[in-house]
Structure 1
Amino acid sequence: MLTKINRVWAIVVLIAATMGMTSCLKNNVDTTPQRPTFWLNVANLSTYSGTMDLYDNGKKITNSGISGFFTEVIGGYSGPHEMKVTPLGKDSVLATASSQLDSLHYYTYMIYGGNPVKAALVESNLTNYSPTSINLRFYNLSSSVGPVDVYMGSKKVFENVVYADGYFRPDFTTFTDITEGNVITVKKAGTTEVVATNNSLKISSLQTGGVYTAYVTGNAGSTGNDKPSTNIIYGAY
C-alpha cells in the first residue's frame, strides 16, 4: 500500500514539475544570473586638437570619434578593463589606462594634457557622501599654470592645488555653504590673478546631494583653443 501511494505521489510531482517547466518555457523566463555592470564617465578634458577613437579592451566603442570638450556615461561588464584613445582611424596609441572596474563604484576615464595626451581611470569614492551637502573635488590638469586656488562664486573651496599627474584623489569634500553654484573661478594660488573662470557650466549649477568633479586645464599664456579653461562634470551619475 505504501509503495502504491509513493508511486501516486511520484506521478503527481512529475506532472507538477513538467507543468512548471512548460510554463517557464512558454513565458520565456530567463533564469540566468545577471552579470554585474559598471558605470563610467568618459571625459575628454585634454587640449588635443584632433579627433580620437576610444577603445575598451581592444574594441572600438566610438562611431564618429571624440573631439573637443566631451563627456558621456557608458556602462559595461565588471572586470579588468584597458581603455585607450588613438588618433581617428589610426592604430598609434595616444594614451591608455587600465583598472579593475566593478558595480560597487563609479568611475571617470579622464583624458587630459595635450602634448602628450594622458589618461587616468579615476574612482569615485563615496564613503563620505552627504545627501544634504554638495560633494565636490577639484583636479589641476594643467602642467603650466602652477598651484591654484578655486572659488565657487566668492567662496574659496580649494587652495594651493598643484598639478595632478598620475594621482587623483578619489574622495570628495562636502560643502553646505556654497551659495553661488553656477560660477567657478580659478586663480593663481595666494593671488587675485584669474587663470580661468566659467559661468556656463556643463552641469548648470551645483545642487545639494550632487557629486561633482571640477578641473582646470590648458596651457598658461595661450590665447588659442588650448588656453586655460575650467568646468565641472558629474562624479557620480
Structure 2
Amino acid sequence: MKKNNNRKPIFKFIKQESMILAKKNRILAVLMAVAVVTGLSSCLKNNNNPAPEAFTYAFFANLATPTYKISVFQNNADLLGGEGMEFGTVRAGRLKPGPAKFDFKRLGSDTLLSSYNTTLDTLRYFSTFIYGSQTSGVETYHFREDFSNNSTSKAHVRFFNMVEGSEPVDFYIGETKLSSSRMYEDFLSGSYNSFTQIDPNEVSITVKNAAGTELAKISNVSLAVAGGVYTVVYAGTQGDTGNRKPAIKTFSH
C-alpha cells in the first residue's frame, strides 16, 4: 500500500528529552477563562455564532526501549501522521473531548502493542507514558493530571522508575534525596502522580541504589520555571551500554 505523504501529524513534534513549557496549570486556567469569556462575548454579539471549539490537552512520552518507533492512534486515526515516536521523545497537543480508544503500534505495522479506553474531559490535561521492552512487551500508563494544588512560586517535580528489572533506586535533586526506594512500575498505584515542590533553579539530578552507588546523573537541568511541572524518569535497558542504557529523562508538562 502506497504511503500517504500528505498526512499531517495532529501533534506538534517535540524532540527534546527536556522541555521548558509555560506553566500548564496557569495556561489551562487562562484557556478556560478565554473560552468562557469568548463564548459569552459571542452570545452577546450574536446568538447565532458558534461557541469556541472545546478541546482537551494530551501528552505522550515514549520510554519504551524497543529499537522501532511507536505509532499512536486515537479512534483509528493516526495522531502522528505516520511519523512514529522514538525512545525518549514526546508528543503533545489538543484533542477533541469525549470517549476515546488509544492504540499503540509498531510504526509501519498493524501489530497492536498496547491499548486503552478513556474519556477525555474538556479543558483537562491527560498524560500517557509508554514503557516496556521488546522482550516483555510495551505497556502504557495513563492518567488525568491534577495541577490544582500547585504553587505559582515553586517548581513541581515527580519521579518514575521505568527501567525493567532494576533494583530499588533513590532520586536526588542536588544533594537532597526527594524520592526513595522506587521500584519498577510502582507508579502504577497512582500514588506517585503528585508532585514535590522545590525552589525553581538549574539543578543536577542523580539516581542511586540503596548502597549509595551512582547509577545515572545529569547536570545543568533547568527546573527554573515558577509554577512549572516536571516529570523525571529513570529509563532504559538494564545492562545496556549503548543508547538504551539506563539514564535520566526529564519532561516538562
Q: If the length of structure 1 is used for normalisation, what is the TM-score?
A: 0.77
Find the partner of 1:69 among 88, 108, 124: 88
Determine the C-alpha separation between the residues in 2 that align with 1:53 and 1:220: 24
Matched to 1:79, the amino acid is G
Counterpart check, 1:147 vs 2:168: yes
TM-superposed CA distance for 1:104, in Å, is 4.1
Partner of 1:186, secondary structure, is: strand
Contact 2:169 2:180 in 1 (8 A): yes
Letter in 2 for 1:185: T
TM (normalized to structure 2)? Answer: 0.73
| Secondary structure class of the residue paired with 2:197 | strand
Aligned to 2:154: 133
The farther-off stretch of 100-109 and 40-49 is 100-109
Which 5+ residue runs of structure 1 have no aligned equivalent? Answer: 1-23
More off after superposition, 212-221 vs 28-37: 28-37
Does the CA-based 8 Å contact 1:37-1:78 persist in structure 2? yes
CA shift, 1:28, in A, is 10
Distance 1:65 1:141, change over 3 A: same
Unaligned runs of 5+ in 2: 1-41
- Trace 1:1-237 onto structure 2 (pairs within 5 A): 31-63=49-81, 64-115=83-134, 116-164=137-185, 166-168=188-190, 169-176=192-199, 181-188=202-209, 190-199=210-219, 201=221, 204-235=222-253
| Higher-strand-fraction structure | 2
Report runs of 4+ in structure 1 exceeding 4 Å deviation.
Answer: 27-30
Q: CA RMSD in A?
A: 2.4
CA contact (8 A) 1:128 1:172 kept: no
Rounded to whole Å, the distance in 1 between the matches of 2:48 and 2:133 is 47
Once residues 53 and 235 of structure 2 are traced to their aligned partners in structure 1, the CA distance between those partners, rounded to angstroms, is 37
CA-to-partner distance for each residue in 1:13-57, whole Å, 9 max, x for gaps?
A: xxxxxxxxxxx9xx9996122342111111111112102221111
Identity among equivalent pairs (%) = 26
What letter matches 1:194 in structure 2? E
